[in-house]
A and B are shown apart, each in its own frame.
Chain A
Amino acid sequence: MEAVLKNLANTVELLAVAAHSCAVNQWDKQTVSRAFHWAKYCEHIYSRFHTNSTIRRVMEKQLQLTNQSLRDAIPAYSEVSFTDLPRCQHLLLVRLLKNPELPSSVMRIFFETKSAVNDAPCEYEDIRGLCSHMIEHRSACKVLSPVSGASAVGADAEVQGEMLMERLGALLSQNTNPHLAEHFLCSVLPLFEGTAQHLCLVITAALLTPKDSATQTASQDFLLDWLLKKDNVLQYMCSLLPSTLLKDLAKEHLKFREAYCGVLKQWASDMKYSVNDGEWGQTSTDPPVSFQNITKHFQTLFEACPSMRASTEDELRALRISNGDFDVRGLSVWGDLLSAIKGQK
Chain B
Amino acid sequence: MKRLLTNKWFITAVSLLIILAVIILGSFPGSPLNNILKPVGGIVNPVQNVVKSTGNSLSDFWVALTDGMAIRKQNEELRAEIAELQYQLNMREEAAIRYEELQEAFHIRETLSNYDVFGATILSRESDEWFAVIRAGVGYSDGITLEPGQSLAVVDVRMNIIGRVIEVNEYDSNILPLLHEGFSISGKVNAVNGATFIIRGDASLKRDGLCLVTGINPDVVPSPGDEIVTSGDGGLFPQGIPIGVIETVDTSNELNITATLRPYSDIGDLNDIFILVPMDEMTDEFTEPGDPNETAAADT
| A and B are partners in one complex rather than unrelated chains | no
Chain A interface (Cβ < 8 Å from any Cβ of B): none
